[in-house]
Amino acid sequence: MLDYKLPVLKKNISLKTLSIVMICIYVISLIPMLALGFYDFPSADDFSMALQPHQYFVATGNFFGTIIAAVKKAYWIYMNYEGYYFSAFLTCLCPAVFSEQCYYFVPLIILSMLTFGVCYFFNALFVRALKLDKHLTNVVSMTTLIVMVHFLKSAGARNQGFYWWSGAVNYVFTFALAFFWLGLIIRIIYDEDKKGCMRKLIWACIWAFPMGGVNYLTALQLAIISFLVIFISVMNKFSKIKVEGLGEVGKKYMKLIWIPAVINLVGFMFNVTAPGIAIRSADTTSNTPIKAVLLSLYAPFNVIMDEMARWETVAILVMLIPVFWKLAADLKHKLRHPFVFTVFAYGMVASNMTPPYYAVSNFSEGRLEVLAWMEFVFFAVMTVFYLTAWVRNLVEEKGASFSNDSSKFSAESSAVILTCMLILVFGSAMCAKANPHYYSATSALYDIVSGKAATYKEESLERLSILKDETVKTANLKEYTDVPKMLFYKDISTPEFDDYWINGSMANYYEKEEVILERIKK
């Protein structure tokens, strides 16, 4: 056998340093995505959903009146098309209502809300409720966001999730709001300031009803959680379930936590019983409830793990193991039910996919894929945390002891983290070199550097000049030459295609008699 020595890591990674590094990586990775927003333009449903608010603003210039117009349009949608009243309202307030230039802020709005929502939730859960390290919590938040945003495989999911207002605000924005609302629920009972808890209870009640009226995927998830909150609250009252870690203030507000949960369920009932659902269902092909449930139970394996998850997701989850091992060192309450939690996590991911399988019999749209992916990432991270903490609990119960340096990782953990990061850097460089669209950030950067985004913007401005010309009644618009997939959703078409309705929507939006697409001769 060989006898040799290799260099070893002499300096352990500090918690604060890793936190700063992960924050920097995430912030830098967003720069090309936000820069790409300056080339963004509205399309498809942006013209139909925001038509009346746009017409009102053009006629009056009244901002607050435009908001009222959006409320009226959302009510019409509720009565004639869909039940998600709050999502509909947000969709009707497309930034392009006020100016096409404002559409550049779509990815900024969406990514800012997603970042805030995820960070707020993890801080509420790990720092406020479990009293764990804030630096490690930042690492978990940033890592989760990186996987959610940049590891999306489908270009359609990236486009509809971050750059197309009608899809992004309906799905990703409200998904982020759900994290914020759940963070409020946690803070109500774990914050130590009595007045602060009351303010959060009021805010949770205010947001509870709108959150019941978001897209059906998120609304169903929140309805399930609201039911669990009510159940736990009732069982806690009769001493059947004990909520650990509560102070005197938390015990008082535990008796009131059911209020926002009930309000949310009321909002959800308004959502699923909307008159417009019956009207729209006549034009769609649906599954039976049983078949929809069976398909959604299979979907996490088929749609997500087989078609969406890649090697870098596994590498990230492995890297999080030593992070969670260190995080669990300060855990005062034992986690003893790994099987139950894993089944719960799987059930939540599956139930997130049930509504589209039931309503439209498929899961093919990018806006559905992005939400399924983000839900999967969140519960994968939480499952790794639970299992890691559970294993550490078992080992410690057997008398094992570990390093007490609270500011640094152990040498072994530092080596694992560094190894995973090196694998990620090397593998990502190879994959992005072969395919610039491999990650969301590299795809955005490629579209900018290659000039595709600039060409798309130039051609869009040419179209816009025709559409804004009041002397033009029939707008003949040239076909795009080479569209960047991150920005482009759906274009106008010729009459023989199903998406020809976009032509009519655009014509109404810009007050034209007709909009015609001029095909490029090849």
pLDDT tens readout for residues 481-497: 888 888 888 888 887 67
Whether 327 and 461 share a structural domain? no
Answer yes or no: is 32 within a domain: yes
Whether 44 and 162 share a structural domain? yes
Whether 463 and 336 share a structural domain? no
Structural domain range at position 456: 450-518
Q: What's the pTM? A: 0.93
Whether 193 and 318 share a structural domain? yes
| Residue 137 near residue 123, CB atoms below 8 Å | yes
Answer yes or no: is 445 within a domain: no
Q: Which residues of 156-193 are buried (b: 16+ CB within 10 A; e: fewer)?
A: bbbbbbbbbbbbbbbbbbbbbbbbbbbbbbbbbbbbee
Whether 428 and 456 share a structural domain? no
Answer yes or no: is 79 within a domain: yes
Answer yes or no: is 48 within a domain: yes
Whether 394 and 454 share a structural domain? no
Whether 414 and 486 share a structural domain? no
Whether 391 and 477 share a structural domain? no
Whether 352 and 258 share a structural domain? yes
DSSP 192-229: S-HHHHHHHHHHHHHHHHHHHTS-HHHHHHHHHHHHHH
Answer yes or no: is 404 within a domain: no
Answer yes or no: is 117 within a domain: yes
Tell me what pLDDT residue 401 has. 67
> Along the 522 residues of the chain, how does pLDDT read in single tens digits?
566 665 666 678 889 999 999 999 999 999 999 999 999 999 888 999 999 999 999 999 899 999 999 999 999 999 988 889 999 999 999 999 999 899 999 999 999 999 999 999 999 999 999 999 999 999 999 999 999 999 998 888 899 999 999 999 999 999 999 999 999 999 999 988 888 889 999 999 999 999 999 999 999 999 999 999 999 999 888 878 888 888 888 888 888 999 999 999 999 999 989 888 877 766 666 778 888 888 888 888 888 888 889 999 999 999 999 999 999 988 888 888 999 999 999 999 999 888 888 877 677 788 889 999 999 999 999 999 999 999 998 888 776 666 666 788 888 888 899 999 999 999 999 999 999 999 999 999 999 999 999 999 999 999 999 999 888 898 889 989 888 888 888 888 887 676 688 888 999 999 988 888 888 765
Q: How many residues does the chain have?
A: 522
Whether 326 and 196 share a structural domain? yes
Measured CA to CA in angstroms, residue 230 lies from 34, 182, 214, 223, 263 at distances of 40, 14, 21, 11, 11
Whether 383 and 463 share a structural domain? no
The DSSP secondary-structure symbol of 163 reads: I
Sorted by sequence, the CB contacts under 8 Å of residue 124 that are 6+ apart come out as: 182, 183, 184, 186, 187, 190
Tell me what pLDDT residue 243 has. 83
pLDDT in tens, 107-142: 999 999 999 999 999 999 999 999 999 999 999 999
**What three-state secondary structure class fits 14?**
strand
| Residue 191 near residue 200, CB atoms below 8 Å | yes
**What three-state secondary structure class fits 470?**
coil
Whether 430 and 300 share a structural domain? yes
- Look at the chain and report how many structural domains it folds into: 2
* d(C-alpha 177, C-alpha 211), whole Å: 8
Answer yes or no: is 303 within a domain: yes
Answer yes or no: is 442 within a domain: no
